[in-house]
Amino acid sequence: MNSATSGPSKDPNPAPTAMVRLSPKASRNHEAIAAALRSQGIDFEQFVVLKRSLDARRKPAVVELIVGLGVDEVQCVKGEWQNVADAQPVVIVGAGPAGLYCALRLIELGLKPIVLERGKEVRERRRDLVQLIRQGKVDPDSNYCFGEGGAGTYSDGKLYTRAKKRGSWRKVLGWLVEHGADREILVETHPHIGTNKLPAIIADMRERIIACGGEVRFKCKVVGVERSAEAGVHGVHTTDGKVEGVAVVVATGHGARDVFEWMHQTGLKVERKPFALGVRIEHPQSWVNARQYKLRDGAAADELGLPPAAYALVTQTEGGGVFSFCMCPGGVIAPCATENGEVVTNGWSPSKRNNPWANSGIVTTVSEEDLDAQGHSGALGALDFQRMVERECSQAAGGNQRAPAQRLTDFVARRPSRDLPPCSYLSGLTSVDLTTLLPAFVVDRLIAGILDFDRKMPGYIHPDAIVVAPESRTSSPVRMPRDRASLQMEDAPGLYPCGEGAGYAGGIASAAMDGIRVAEAIAAREAVNLG
């Protein structure tokens, strides 16, 4: 990997574009696209697909292509890397997307990132995940949440965000491509990399940081910050000693409960925050395909060139909304606990999305009022409630990462299941009446929401659909307040909360974008200090 390369400048005279509509199969065939352009009377020497989006509302489904004429490659934003070995150091706690992108942007801006990660290198994590799945043993520092790349590395790699109009969205995608991702993510409406491909990309980003003079330290757990009245926060205490810098970025992800706890205990401001709680529901992917694409007579989606179908559902029920989250077509339900004695579910898909099941989180927001009613007050009240649910689910299922589960038909009828259908969750299931296990207000909302989903998507309450609990880590149960302009923690200058764990992101792309914003805020502050 090169230690330096510069990105292209913006073209003041962009190439003309055209739109064509083709069948899903034809949309990936160069000659078919060329023929469609010629049928519109368009002359061209070369072209490239700039955007590809499936319109499944049409019968049969079509793919809309935005084609750039006179160009042969999609523009990709690349980094302007430089050697920062002797530059001012910035300490970054956590090597997830927020931390990695913060580090890369700091390099562009002439500052030296020192990334501290409690877990292991991305490929070393695999052995711990195998132990987690097969033996039900959780390494509290190396699991689906902790380790190089963070939670997103081994849990899907979807790049959805509603903030695409911000400039850093293209930077996020461009840097992924620069470090090994398929260029198709620059084109697809809903880009997805896949759990099988992300590890190599993450490792390449780490090598980039090191090649430019930054540092990445593994198995280095942060247990406190170095703070003074004169200098503010200017370093951290770790299991290996003190690490100092001109600023500290806390980009730990929302599973780092011990970080929230020591921050609260040492007087750093942490606030209780609403979060989402619910279950994972898994259907046969063939049913989702047939329902979404309105396939008949046994037609298979892949034979028609259609990707495995997804869905997005939302409804309002008494007390709060219910919505689907992190829908994984052709995916797997995975055990994502960070401590023994608790169970947590999440979903992921490989790049081909070719597993026989589709799963999605179906959750409701646990509000401040809900937490008060449950007696969970204080800064860590939401965290305590989240932990309580995860432990009760683990105990009900028998421990060792077995998860409590129920047929969907039985869940909505509030009755135990005599047996369970096949499921992708490999750590083992125990038939449990989730309607008596989960908090009553959560159950009431979920059932009301699912009944409405069945009206919107007839057949959703499928006889072979299964409910697996809990889906409890969709968002952080705390927020680390920060100034809207400087992005520094209130009353702790030099400390920059960042990403999902701090309460300012909700996925890989938004966390990466927040990491970029924080890097730019630090660089602006240092420019003022040096000026």
End-to-end CA distance of the chain: 35
Average pLDDT over residues 284-299: 87
- In this structure, the chain runs to a length of 531
Instruction: Tell me what pLDDT residue 195 has.
Output: 78
Average pLDDT over residues 498-517: 92
Instruction: Tell me what pLDDT residue 281 has.
Output: 98
Whether 510 shows a pLDDT value over 80: the answer reads yes
Instruction: Tell me what pLDDT residue 297 has.
Output: 66
Instruction: Tell me what pLDDT residue 73 has.
Output: 86
pLDDT digits (tens, 9 = 90+) for 338-348: 999 999 999 98
Q: In what order do the strands lie in the sheet with 215-217?
A: 215-217, 112-116, 89-93, 248-250, 495-497
Instruction: Tell me what pLDDT residue 8 has.
Output: 40
Average pLDDT over residues 467-473: 97
Tokens representing 302 are 């892949």
Average pLDDT over residues 11-29: 84
Beta strand spans in 34-150 (E): 47-55, 62-69, 89-93, 112-116
Query: CA dihedral defined by 26, 31, 37, 38, rounded to 10 degrees?
Result: -130
Whether 530 shows a pLDDT value over 90: the answer reads no
Q: How far apart are CA 331 and CA 283, in angstroms?
A: 10
- The answer to whether the CB of 348 falls within 8 A of the CB of 507 is no
Query: Residue 130 is which amino acid?
Result: V
3-state helix, strand, coil in the chain (%, to 5): 30, 25, 45
Beta strand spans in 32-107 (E): 47-55, 62-69, 89-93
Would you place residue 153 in the very low, low, confident or very high pLDDT band (cuts 50, 70, 90)?
confident
pLDDT digits (tens, 9 = 90+) for 69-105: 988 888 899 999 999 999 999 999 999 999 999 999 9
pLDDT digits (tens, 9 = 90+) for 199-223: 899 999 999 999 999 999 999 999 9
Whether 165 shows a pLDDT value over 90: the answer reads no
Q: How far apart are CA 195 and CA 214, in angstroms?
A: 26
Tokens representing 195 are 């759990």
Query: Residue 181 is which amino acid?
Result: A
3-state secondary structure of 219: coil
Average pLDDT over residues 486-498: 96
Chain position carrying tokens 């990399």: 193
Q: What is the DSSP letter of 370?
A: H
Would you place residue 1 in the very low, low, confident or very high pLDDT band (cuts 50, 70, 90)?
very low
The lowest-confidence range among 32-41, 136-145, 241-250 is 136-145
Q: How far is CA 90 from CA 172, 474, 510, in A?
A: 21, 29, 21
Tokens representing 422 are 């096949």
For residue 249, what are the β-bridge partners?
A: 92, 496
Q: How far apart are CA 187 and CA 183, in angstroms?
A: 7
Whether 9 shows a pLDDT value over 50: the answer reads no
